[in-house]
Amino acid sequence: PDAVSGFVNELLRVNPIGDGGPLRISLEEVEIAGTVIPKRSAVMAAVASANRDAQVFEDGEEFRPDREHNPHLAFGHGIHHCLGKHLGRMEMEIALTGLVSRLPELRLAVAEAELPWHVGEINHTLTSLPVAWGA
């Protein structure tokens, strides 16, 4: 239970609840990292990629719940942050704390590599999470 807060933050960093947000329209032609985005093009930011930025996150591709510095963008940033971010984080922490407190021997029932993922263009989600508990 003591590690739940870091675990929740790392879950949010690695697999944000809703990635991208609304489409934006470029007001002028712009070049970003060698790619030209024409004027009046629809653009959507992929927050999950920013949450893996090597300049911000050491070993950003790894899931590390003990990560001390974790300024993830799962709930947006600045004036575009989610007003419910504290409630969302708190709900996840309460649910996971209750789960590990009541079922301390809970574990994956399959190898991590066997977990079934739905891979989409924006969000990647588990299609099921097989677990076991007890001796």
- Domains in the chain: boundaries: 4-102, 105-135
Q: Is the pLDDT of residue 134 over 90?
A: no
Q: Is the pLDDT of residue 19 over 80?
A: no
pLDDT value at residue 118: 83
The tokens describing 134, both together, are 């007890």
Question: What mean pLDDT value characterizes the chain?
Answer: 88
- β-partners of residue 30 are 37
The tokens describing 34, both together, are 């060698």
- Coil, helix or strand at residue 105: coil
Q: How confident is the model at residue 78 (pLDDT cuts 50, 70, 90)?
A: confident
pLDDT value at residue 84: 92
Q: How confident is the model at residue 67 (pLDDT cuts 50, 70, 90)?
A: very high
pLDDT value at residue 18: 65
φ, ψ of residue 88 to 5 degrees: the values are -60, -45
